[in-house]
Homo-oligomer: A and B are copies of this chain.
């Protein structure tokens, strides 16, 4: 399970350490980590092999004429990168992903339960502040139903 927030640096060679807690949650280190752009935010989605395998399973192997639903899975797979760890647990994000999330020399890993997101620190700060404010204005009604909470 991915919980909490971790801010790490991207060095000159483009390497980014995946937080130890997340590496453990991802499972088999040999599988690395699977990252794809978020559809809705200038951020990246990260998950383990099991999560991606569900997308693969949703594409019927022999069906050559995919419907809209399949297209969604296909789009995710086309934009997903299987990133391998170096011996220290770092990965290199390809340029397409760096661009999508507007990442510079720092990245923040945000736990989201079954997977996590990767944000530019500045973008996340404003996004988080707005989400927090939104949550607060509706807080009274959401509080009892939603066990999730936004980190302070």
Contact A59:B3 (CB < 8 A) given known A54-B147, A150-B76: no
A62-80 interface with B by 8 A CB criterion: 62, 64-66, 68-69, 71-80
User: How many residues on chain A are close to B (CB under 8 Å)?
Assistant: 66
Q: Which A residues are closer than 8 A to B by beta carbons? A: 1-5, 21, 34, 37-41, 45, 51-59, 61-62, 64-66, 68-69, 71-82, 96, 110-115, 128, 131-132, 134-136, 138-140, 142, 144-148, 150-152
Q: Is the CB of A64 within 8 A of B78?
A: no
Once the chains bind, are A74 and B40 in contact (CB under 8 Å)?
Answer: no
Nearest CB on B from A116, distance (A): 9
A96–B73 alpha-carbon span in the complex (Å): 29
When the two chains form their complex, are residues B40 and A73 in contact, meaning their CB atoms are under 8 A apart?
Answer: no
Q: Is the CB of A78 within 8 A of B128?
A: yes
Q: A75-B135, A77-B112 are in contact. List 12 more A-B contacts (CB 8 A).
A: A4-B77, A4-B78, A39-B64, A41-B152, A58-B146, A59-B113, A61-B114, A61-B115, A64-B72, A68-B134, A72-B131, A72-B142
Q: CA separation between A37 and B4, bound complex, in Å?
A: 12
A40/B140 in contact, CB under 8 A:
yes
A34 touches which of B3, B69, B81, B135 (Cβ 8 Å) = B3
